[in-house]
A and B are shown apart, each in its own frame.
Chain A
Amino acid sequence: MPYHESPMPTPTDTDDALYVALLHVCERSFFAFVEACDALQFAVLVGKTQSQPPLQDVNGLEAMAAQLPRWLKASVAFDGNSSSGAIEILLPERLARWLVASLLGISTEVDLGQVELLDGQVFDGTGEFVNMVCGAWLTDRSGSQAFSLGPPAVTRLPAGWSPLADPCHGPNRLQVCVNELPLQISVRSSAA
Chain B
Amino acid sequence: MGQHTNEAATSPRQRPLNILIVDDSATMRMVIRRVVDLTEVPIGTVYEANNGLEAIKILETCTVHAVFTDINMPVMNGHELLFEIAQREHWNSILRIVISTDGSRLRQAEVKELNVNLYIQKPFRPEVVRNALSRIANADAH
A interface residues, Cβ below 8 angstroms from B:
24-25, 28-30, 100, 103-105, 120-121, 124-125, 127-128, 131-132, 134-136, 138-139, 142-149, 151
**Chain B 112-137 residues near chain A, CB threshold 8 A:** 121-125
Per a CB cutoff under 8 Å, which of B27, B74, B104, B124 touches A145?
B104
With A104-B34, A124-B26 as known contacts, state yes or no: A135 contacts B102, CB within 8 Å.
yes
| A148:B122 contact, CB within 8 angstroms | no
Determine if B100 and A128 form an interchain contact, defined as CB atoms under 8 angstroms apart. Answer: no
Q: Who on chain B is nearest to A4 by CB?
A: B104
Q: CB of B72 within 8 A of chain A? A: yes
Question: Measured between alpha carbons, how far is A82 from B106 in the docked complex, in Å?
Answer: 14
- Does A103 lie within 8 Å of B31, measured CB to CB? yes
Q: Is the CB of A132 within 8 A of B25?
A: no
Given A29-B122, A149-B72, A121 and B26 touching (CB < 8 A)? yes
- In chain B, positions 63-80 with a C-beta closer than 8 Å to chain A are 72, 74
Task: Give how many A-B residue pairs fall within 8 Å (CB-CB).
Answer: 78
| Alpha-carbon distance A100/B31, docked complex (angstroms) | 10
**Judging by beta carbons under 8 Å apart, are B31 and A132 in contact?**
no
- A interface, over-half SS: helix
Give the chain A neighbours of B122 by CB distance below 8 A.
29, 131-132, 135
Evaluate contact between A151 and B74: CB separation under 8 angstroms. yes
Are B28 and A128 within 8 A (Cβ)? yes
Q: Is B106's CB under 8 angstroms from A25's CB?
A: no
Interchain residue pairs A-B with the least CB separation, the first 4:
A135-B101, A29-B123, A139-B103, A28-B123
* A132-B101, A135-B122 given; A145·B30 CB < 8 A: no
Bound CA span A28–B106, Å: 24
Q: Does B124 contact A146, Cβ atoms closer than 8 Å?
A: no
Q: Would you give the shortest CB distance from A177 to chain B, in whole angstroms?
A: 19
> Is there contact, CB below 8 Å, between A28 and B124?
yes
CA distance A106 to B89 in the complex (A): 41
